[in-house]
Chains A and B, each alone.
Chain A
Amino acid sequence: AQSVSQHNHHVILSEAASLELGCNYSYGGTVNLFWYVQYPGQHLQLLLKYFSGDPLVKGIKGFEAEFIKSKFSFNLRKPSVQWSDTAEYFCAVNTYSSASKIIFGSGTRLSIRP
């Protein structure tokens, strides 16, 4: 079965530190990849997405993610985090074999120390 793994359940960083959140998926075919973010008390919203083309995609608020097909990975990065980045981050995958399904990971909670 298709699945998405986010190995870090809770990450704690200081402001200005660099961030990398891991995401791996299990599916050998063509995929669409997403990162969603849920700020405290707010709804889930899209951070960035990859469909095709340049494997390095840029999203809102200075986030970027790199699709490495050989590693089945789509890690999220930000060079310098801010306190306002405190949130829960979800990686998600859509496969062409399950056209209407998006499979979500279990999420990574990011806490930023001011």
Chain B
Amino acid sequence: ETGVTQTPRHLVMGMTNKKSLKCEQHLGHNAMYWYKQSAKKPLELMFVYNFKEQTENNSVPSRFSPECPNSSHLFLHLHTLQPEDSALYLCASSQDRLGSYEQYFGPGTRLTVT
């Protein structure tokens, strides 16, 4: 049990759909992250939130919209995605936003855009 849960685990959506990914951490951490994991590519950091405030946006297209209502929950709202956005989306949390802290990862949401 990682302490970080993600729903749904699998998602298939068309390019005109709107959907949301949800992440919840039960570890009392203050920082939360969204990553994109594509085959044969490095894990790409998308967003960082610390105490509900966005501290990092790694040049992510606006069709990805994060939301962090509190330190335990993180959402990724998706709209008008492209097929190349198909990937595994990972959520992580850490005690603080400083990269020196260990990050705890969720199981990921496997997204397929058709």
A and B: partners?
A: yes
Judged by DSSP, the binding face of B is: loop
Q: Report how many residues on chain B are interfacial, defined by Cβ distance under 8 Å.
A: 26
> Given A4-B42, A43-B2, A105-B42, A49 and B102 touching (CB < 8 A)?
yes
Partner of A101, one of B41, B45, B90, B105: B45
B interface residues (Cβ-Cβ under 8 A, vs A): 2, 4, 31, 40-43, 45, 48, 50, 55-56, 58, 90, 92, 97-100, 102-108
CB–CB B99/A94 < 8 A = yes
Q: Which of B45, B104, B107 contacts A102 (CB 8 A)?
A: B45
What total of A-B pairs shows CB separation below 8 Å? Answer: 59
Least CB distance from A109 to B in Å reads 10
* Cα of A44 to Cα of B88 in the assembled complex, Å: 12
Count of chain A residues near B, Cβ 8 A: 26
Indicate if the CB atoms of B97 and A100 lie closer than 8 Å: yes
